[in-house]
Homo-oligomer: A and B are copies of this chain.
Amino acid sequence: MDKAKGKGQQTKKEEVLKTGVSGFDDLFAKKGIPKGSSVLVAGGPGTGKSIFCRQICYNVVSKGKRCMYVSFEESKERIEKSMKSFGWDVTKYIENGTFLIQKINPLDILRMKFGSLGGSGSATDISYKIKPLVIPRDFHPDVIAVDSLSAIIDASVSKDRNYRIYLQQLFSFFEETGATSFLITETDPMPIRYSDTGIEEFLADGIVVLYNIQKEDVRENAIEVLKMRYGEHEKKMVLMKITEKGLNVFPQKRVFV
């Protein structure tokens, strides 16, 4: 990073979301993620994607902001219990209505009218807006975490020629909420694509990749900001540890593949 950034860093500091994940915000020149961005959180199994999102949610709501966590696979109870096991007691925020955990039955996605997009292509059928989530009318989240975008896409996107349009509508939805959104996508352990269709990575504003790197017989966790629109960032893969208290990112510790 060059020195000219020091100045911008101060004047624009308020425009970024501080995740509060130890060490992570330091990967950005402005010490956070540009607010309103849609960020893919990409990684293989066991890389800490869910922990990353939950840690952000806890940090955000404990500062008095609003957060919505959408899960397709784990129940509200398991998520709450899991967060507590890291010492993140979210019960009060759930009770005071600033932290909203939503378990969506994937069957409900099927029931929505996504199917018509993949159909004959007649324009009238696809002029409505897509709503993958229902956000309560008076709830304006600062952060939305979706665990996982892969689940939405698998459930609703038929792999025909219109799925890019569907994806664009999906990202437009998140953009229009005004929230910074973290969208988990499932990849191979050492990904060269960062999403299910290979298109999300171009539509999203940012990509954070979580690695589980095999080095001889040992594995190390690492994290990298691969892309962030409107936000200058470190261009390297750094060490991350998954501990009993959540994730620790070590911006100065290099990880070699």
Contact = CB atoms under 8 A, between A and B. Distances in A.
9 contacts: A45-B227, A110-B121, A110-B123, A110-B126, A155-B161, A158-B161, A186-B199, A216-B257, A219-B235
A62 B73 CA distance: 34
A207 interface: yes
Contacts of A245: 4
A137 interface: no
B46 A226 contact: yes
B207 A46 contact: yes
Given A201-B45, A202-B148, A257-B214, A244 B168 contact: no
A236 interface: yes
A123 B156 CA distance: 13
Contacts of A150: 164, 199, 202
A194 B45 contact: yes
A134 interface: no
A173 interface: no
A96 B18 CA distance: 39
A238 interface: yes
Interface string A200-221: 0111100100001010111111
